[in-house]
Amino acid sequence: MKTIIDIQEVWKIYDLGKVKVEAVRGIDLTIKEGEFISIMGPSGSGKSTLMNSIGCLDLPTRGRILLDGRDISKMSESDLAQIRGKMIGFIFQKFNLISTLTALENVMLPMTFQNIPKEIRRERAIHLLSLVGLGNRINHKSNELSGGQQQRVAIARSLCNNPKVILADEPTGNVDSKTGKIIMDYLKKLNKEEGKTIVMVTHDEKIAKQAKKIVRIHDGKIKVSR
């Protein structure tokens, strides 16, 4: 399988004046196209920092991150924004939906930044919301939706630009166990049937075990990978 994410001796050090925090300490990790991996670790272990680095939201202090062969660790912010929009779909624990927009408008929004015509944006958003079982809720604002429905809107939004990689940060963290199962089943379907590469951060052992591979991080270093 082709390597889609190649993390090489990555460090992330935050300078807090008199204190320097080594959030990620020399991590090496290779993720193949079509893999489904979970990243586990206690609070403060560096797992979210690593996720943000993979997602082009934060640059490493040292080391290299190759995304589909391109070194994102030295890219400008404008180039990072473009690669984020085209290659990466984000699913956040707190959904990160815009409350003043409808479900349809939330899913359409990322496509706006890729200069996709409005009619195509609308058609694609309706299709994606139907796929996640929300075809009858497209005109509801996020505060009119349950937590599980909001997370499904977030999944639809993550797919709108047909990304190669989906980054899921505690995707079941704010939903009940029944809805969590629906979300995990859908992520597994995306991985198996559409070949999406999925990288998921979770603290839940049962959720982590549903991925094909588990990477455990402690004190900014990978401790176990299976």
Higher pLDDT, 94 or 140: 140
* Tens of pLDDT, residues 26-61: 999 999 999 999 999 888 899 989 998 999 888 899
Q: Please give the model's pTM, rounded to 2 decimal places.
A: 0.88
Structural domains of the chain, ranges and CATH numbers in brackets: 35-60+74-225 (3.40.50.300)
The CA-CA-CA angle for residues 51, 162, 31, to 5°, reads: 40
Angstrom distance (rounded) from CA 107 to CA 102: 9
Output the pLDDT for position 226. Answer: 62
Ramachandran region, residue 135 (left: φ > 0; alpha: ψ -120 to 50; beta: rest): alpha
* Tens of pLDDT, residues 147-170: 889 989 999 999 999 999 999 988
